[in-house]
Amino acid sequence: MTRNPSDVWRGYGRVAMLVLTVLFAVGVAGHAVESTFPLMMFLTPGFLVLTSVLVVAPALAADRWRFTAWLAGTYGFTFAAEAAGVATGAVFGEYVYGPTLGWAWLGVPLVIAFNWAVVVHGCVALAGWLVPAGTGWIRTTAVSLLAGGGAVAFDWVMEPLAIRLDYWTWAGGDIPLQNYAAWFVIAAVVAPFHPRVRRGDREMGTAESLAVFFVAAQVVFFILLRRVLAS
């Protein structure tokens, strides 16, 4: 008997959440052990790509060209913002990327815009669940503002660890408030074009629940790793 595609993706979502949990747990343990710490640093770009692909797969299957277009547009927009930020300091503040995130172009790691898109994807999914169903500019604005706020909260948790692991370095060592303002604006700008926002419902299918889980898992990972490295 042929299985319902939605049942297949629900099963995929459960397995993917388990895999992500294991991968993040191994990541925390690997960073905590001195002998495996260099390996964890080396694997960071591949880890981000692998986990992000796991997360976007059901969204690509569900929305196909619409989500693909949003993902590609968000990648291009955020990469351009990062490139301008590195070159001028006018977007996020004065900063420079370290070698941890791997291959770079124009001073920006190629993986960073992909991570941007997946984080915003998760924030949009969560915001879409919190805001009552419906369409129109009021709901779109509410979802966009909540997604921007979620992205800022994510970055606030991530920043100290990112600096510690040499993802990037801020001029003077302090994280400027401008950085958080830029995170909010960029996330809020790309959020309205997400297929979930344009659909206008509150359904938390596999694509959305997995995206929210991924962002939450990253937050827990950063918090635990900050404690581990501080001890």
Please tell me the pTM assigned to this model.
0.90
Report which of residues 63 and 28 the model is more confident about: 28
Q: What is the DSSP string of 163-207?
A: HHTTSEEEGGGPPPHHHHHHHHHHHHHHGGGSHHHHH------HH
- Residue 177 CB neighbours (<10 A): 9
Q: What is the DSSP string of 113-134?
A: HHHHHHHHHHHHHHHHHHSPS-
pLDDT higher than threshold 70 for residue 5 = no
How far apart are the C-alpha atoms of 21 and 16, rounded to whole Å? 8
Pairing of strands 168-170, 95-97: antiparallel
Average pLDDT, the chain: 89
Rg (CA), the chain: 18
Position 202 scores a pLDDT of 59
pLDDT digits (tens, 9 = 90+) for 156-174: 999 999 999 999 999 988 8
- Tell me what the mean pLDDT of segment 122-126 comes to: 92
The domain limits of the chain are 5-230
Encoding tokens for residue 86? 């590195």
Band (231; pLDDT cuts 50, 70, 90)? low
